[in-house]
Chains A and B, each alone.
Chain A
Amino acid sequence: MKRLLYLTLVFGLVPIQTTVLSHVSVGGIRPDLCLVAAILVGFFTGVREGFLLGLAMGFVQDLFSAGVLWLNLVTKGSVGFLGGVAGRYVANATTLTALAGILGLSLMSGTVFLLTVGPAGFRDASFAVRAVLLPQAMWDAALGAGLYWLLAKRVRRQRAILEGPTGLGSLIR
């Protein structure tokens, strides 16, 4: 099941990103589904899965991007890894902390893009920050926080079933 989910994420998110996602763009800016997915997978399942899934999704994304073939690979792998680190060390994470974390990671990833794309001069760079970097980070954070809220609720419910006094956990034990 997990394998199927990961394959769906790797080969399914990029087609959505390139086609139907343009309908939800605000000012021409769309959220980066692969970035959000890499962070959340890392956060909920661990460093290694976040990192490897980020690399795979980033690579597929690079195949359908006009940029160089390593940019998404490296950035998505990194944010998946950092998502995993956050999942390991952040205790009592809330939707708000997820929002702040995804905002930070999206800004970091966007900065790598900004430095690689290399805007001509300060005027273009400041325009890129205002028109692309910040709006996309906000989009990613909002979408990521929403998904985190849904996933965390589900995870909590599963834990309650397994670990509760009359739950499945006690029956198994």
Chain B
Amino acid sequence: MFRSTSGTRRVTLVLVALLLSALLVLPTQSQRLLQHIGVPLAPIVTLPIEALAALDRSLRDMWEGYVALHEVHEENLRLRREIELLQHQNGRLQEAASASQRLTALLEFKGRARSQTVAAQVIGRETTNWYRAVVVNKGDVDGVRVEMGVITPAGVVGRVVKTTRSASMVLLVTDPNNAITGLIQRTRDEGIVEGTAQGLARVKYLPLLSTVRAGDRVVTSGLTGGFPRGLPIGVITSIDKMEGDLFQSGDIVPDADLTRLEEVVIITAPREEADSDAASLQTQPPQQRKP
């Protein structure tokens, strides 16, 4: 495969050495270059990933559905979906009730439903063991961009960190490299939700005087990132309040079951952007509007 003359060998080695040096000296520029090189390559790999994922799913479904306890499995799935739906409804209702006390939340809640979304299927897992991420089958051509939020009916899943033409990488909320602004639903205190090395999540930088306690729900604050306000992230299981610390923090169990992800929803435009789109339409002169 690599048979060549000593001249081309030398040129190849020099080019490779230059590329590797560029990677270390100019990390941002080389990232862009590598991304550019990867554009035509990624679809070649995405196709077998989708094929293998479909084969894997059908084999698993066949095994679980027909061989191992057919009826129990069906019922289990139905109940699981029902629980997820109820959890989601519960989170939404709690959020709406809490916000209505301040006479603004109902509008926000309606606005949240106006987020533009794209449904995607999980087709694979991260290729290394060092990140907690999944591959989904929607990419640049579907309007997916880096930093967009990803959710399921149960709650927040993570955010998009890399896209190719037809696939995207979603960094899960349990990865230590992920950070989302969160809000304690009961106390309205804000904090940063980060993943932990152990595969859970943690809300940090909560005010020391906050009355937050185990069992409190954490939702997205909508201040940064691709999430609208009020989407469920998880439930606090314990609080760390060390003497002398400026902040307190708490462990969270995510609402979404991140080990069994199959379908997700990517938020392509959170409420705020949808609102601004609507506002820009309204400010246009009538004659410029499309019929």
Contacts and interface: CB of A to CB of B under 8 A. Distances in A.
Interface residues of B, number: 48
A60 B39 CA distance: 11
B41 A12 contact: no
A19 B124 contact: yes
A19 B49 contact: yes
Interface in B181-229: 196-199
Contacts of B127: 14, 17-18, 34, 61, 64-65, 72
Interface stretch (B28-36, B71-79, B98-106, B283-291): B28-36
A117 to B, nearest CB: 5
Nearest to B49: A15
B49 A64 contact: yes
Interface string A45-82: 00011011001000111111111111011100100000
B123 A6 contact: no
B45 A70 contact: no
B130 A74 contact: no
B56 A66 contact: no
B269 interface: no
A163 interface: no
B171 interface: yes
Interface of A: 2-3, 6, 11-12, 14-20, 22-23, 28-30, 32, 34, 48-49, 51-52, 55, 59-70, 72-74, 77, 113-114, 117, 119-120, 123-124, 127-128, 131-132, 136
Q: What 5 A-B pairs are tightest by C-beta distance, nearest first?
A: A18-B124, A66-B133, A15-B48, A66-B131, A19-B52
